[in-house]
Amino acid sequence: MKEDLHLAPYRRCLWEEAGLLVVSGDVSRALLSRDVYNGRYGIRAPGDERGTKLDRALAAAGLSAISLVERESWGWSMTFPGDDFGLFIGVEPEGMICGGVHGAERERAKVALQRQKAGEPLVESHYGPVGDDPVRAVELYFERSIQTPTRIAVSDAGPGALCQVVPGGDFSRVSGRTDEELLALLDELSAGQSNALRVLDEVVLFYECRCNDDMVIDMIKGLPEDQQREVWGDSSELEIECPRCGREYVVKRKTVRRQ
């Protein structure tokens, strides 16, 4: 329902004097769409620590995806040391973002990212997290897998920024700053008259999930026959939860209806 979408504007800029790519935006408006989405499908939002980590992961994942010249599909899976839950965050090329919390084993802390351009093979990366902050986990991807120094700052209120060095850039301009200092600096540069930040692109994020009845049917049909028999057993219907957003479906052998 497009009338329920709350679009979160983001900008991709070049800070030419420092040689840094800068992506900035406020995820909080997209999260208003999440409240509408969850209400529409009866999805219970996670609270406390789980909700805080999910929101930070959504913010960092959105900034990361927008840093690309060519948009891709990104799917993050994160589990942190000592947590009995994990996070999933998906970002699509058109700006659609979604995420959810799922159960996980405490001893299996890991981060995985699946990236895919349209018409190209899936690319996967796996690594262990340092600490328990999803924002830092996303930074580590660029450091370890892409070898590109990247700084991400996200405030509790929603505004966030990603700064990434380009060839010949000076990463020290942002690497030693706190989140508050970095966000304040970028606000100052954006508001000033010096045109320090040259806008390269303007995009929006919004909260929705690509899951639907047909995708659920195709998922079941795609299983080998022996697995289908095992899944169905003697049941006439299945309850299936979308691993991306948590939306529940009731699947009958010939029909699918939404809950």
Q: What is the pLDDT of residue 30?
A: 92
Per-residue confidence band for 204, with pLDDT thresholds at 50, 70 and 90: very high
Domain boundaries, the chain: 2-207, 213-258
Q: What is the pLDDT of residue 236?
A: 75
Per-residue confidence band for 254, with pLDDT thresholds at 50, 70 and 90: low
Mean pLDDT, rounded, of the chain: 89
Cα dist from 131 to 34, 81, 110, 188, 210, whole Å: 27, 7, 11, 31, 31
Distance from C-alpha of 49 to C-alpha of 159, rounded to nearest angstrom: 19
Q: What are the tens digits of pLDDT across the range 7-48?
A: 999 999 999 999 999 999 999 999 999 999 999 999 988 888
Please state which CATH number belongs to domain 2-207: 3.55.30.10
Q: What are the tens digits of pLDDT across the range 129-176?
A: 889 999 999 999 999 999 999 999 999 888 999 999 999 999 999 998
Q: What are the tens digits of pLDDT across the range 47-80?
A: 888 999 999 999 999 999 999 989 899 999 999 9
Q: Look up the pTM and report it.
A: 0.89
Per-residue confidence band for 238, with pLDDT thresholds at 50, 70 and 90: confident
Least confident of 3-7, 120-124, 168-172, 215-219: 3-7
Report which of 196, 155, 176 is spatially closest to residue 22, judged by C-alpha positions.
Answer: 196
Q: What is the pLDDT of residue 3?
A: 52
Q: Report which of residues 42 and 240 the model is more confident about.
A: 42
User: Which residues, 6 or more positions from 229, have their beta carbon under 8 angstroms from its beta carbon?
Assistant: none
Q: What is the pLDDT of residue 256?
A: 37
- Per DSSP, the residues of 209-226 read ----HHHHHHHHHTS-HH
Selected from 3.30.1330, 3.40.50, 1.20.140, 3.90.1280, the CATH number assigned to the domain covering 213-258 reads 3.90.1280
Q: Is the pLDDT of residue 259 over 50?
A: no
SS (H, E, C) 81-112: CCCCEEEEEEECCCCEEEEEEEECCCCCCEEE
